[in-house]
Structure 1
């Protein structure tokens, strides 16, 4: 039996629309949630022959990935990944609204890559709190994978 892996060991990156195959890390995350059943659609296939038992076929698969963290700025400079999502990708419409993001655990040798759209999350805070930040990625089509390339 294997050991559980740390949630903080996951890496999330977004592709820069202007420079394909150039990915920008998203930093200062505090939580993430992958929902592999989001946007799933089914067709009821129950008939008299089902003898009172429900039956269905899955007609559509979908998934979302929600990232939450702290609105990050160092010396007045925003985190590059958060900034790209908030000020570039979030304003794209139509076909241009689709982009790529990828994720993996530090122990993995392949990225999971999504063609997806992004919805920026709420930003806020209270008196003695840090400012929150978030984004939700909605997968479009099937996921792909690519090998992790390390640079010397």
Structure 2
């Protein structure tokens, strides 16, 4: 069976944010060129080493977390000049929220998968930059709040 397994393309990952003004409306984030997930983000442990540990370190994981950073190019519609809806929602709606309002839903999957991973998340906008012969960059980092859930991909 190992001979039939293949690596998947990084470009096949899909990331979407939910428009809280219209629940159930998901906005794809366009222009992405890379992403990374850190499944150990915000992990906390409690040391449990005691005299009877015979000099070996011991611990219990007390908290789990995760984050995803997406990076790419700032995108606009060629005709209308409107910013990509996913990027526009993140930059225009989500960025300035504080407290309980700082949460939003993020979902992601690979195009070969039949279910979404859903996160209640907070978000930190990334830097935007560019040079003479470059396109303008865009990025955001999402941190999971609570446990992930899943949902079937529906047409």
Give, in angstroms, the shift of residue 74 of structure 1: 2.2
1:79-103 deviations in Å (ceiling 9; x for gaps): 1100100011111111111010000
> Which of 61, 72, 86 is matched with 1:58 structurally?
61
- For the aligned residue pairs, the C-alpha RMSD in angstroms reads 0.7
Find out whether 1:100 has 2:105 as its counterpart. Answer: yes
Partners in 1 of 2:132 and 2:47 — Cα distance? 50
Partners in 2 of 1:96 and 1:19 — Cα distance? 15
- TM-score normalized by structure 1? 0.96
> Which of 67, 71, 96 is matched with 1:68 structurally?
71
Partners in 2 of 1:115 and 1:20 — Cα distance? 14
Structure 2, unaligned stretches of length 5 or more? none
Q: How many residues align?
A: 150
Structure 1, unaligned stretches of length 5 or more? none
Show the 5 A alignment for 1:1-152.
1=2, 2-75=5-78, 76-150=81-155
Poorly superposed stretches of 4+, deviation over 3 Å: none
Partners in 2 of 1:54 and 1:69 — Cα distance? 42
- TM-score normalized by structure 2? 0.95
